[in-house]
């Protein structure tokens, strides 16, 4: 889909860290309606003006794909077994 994420939740949690690491979107605290509105309008106006609103770090995102995560887990299990 190649669209940015607008996450609503704690700005200092795991989701925020993941979004920052992957550059996949932005997060605003659920009580910060002003920031939610700002992010939404930023995305909307960039979309309306045909500006690039999504520039993710594909390499970082790929780390979280099932195939890669399973490989990493397998490597950990192999180290434990040895």
63's tokens: 């780390």
pTM equals: 0.75
pLDDT band at 1 (very low <50, low <70, confident <90, very high): low
Please tell me the predicted confidence (pLDDT) of residue 82. Answer: 77
Residue 31's pLDDT is 97
Q: Look up the domain containing 31 and give its range.
A: 5-81
Structurally, the chain folds into a number of domains equal to: 1
pLDDT: which is higher, 41 or 68: 41
**Spatial contact of 6 and 42, defined as CB atoms under 8 Å apart:** no
Give dist(CA 22, CA 8) in Å, integer.
17
Q: Considering only CA atoms, which of 58, 51, 48 is closest in space to residue 24? A: 58
3-class DSSP assignment, residue 64:
coil
Specify the pLDDT at position 56: 93
């Amino acid at each position: 889909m190649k669209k940015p994420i607008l996450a609503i939740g704690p700005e200092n949690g795991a989701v925020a860290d993941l979004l920052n690491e992957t550059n996949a979107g932005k997060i605003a605290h659920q009580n910060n309606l002003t920031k939610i509105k700002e992010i939404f309008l930023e995305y909307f106006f960039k979309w309306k003006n045909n500006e690039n609103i999504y520039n993710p770090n594909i390499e970082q995102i790929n780390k979280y794909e099932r195939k890669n995560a399973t490989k990493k887990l397998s490597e950990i299990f192999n180290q434990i077994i040895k």
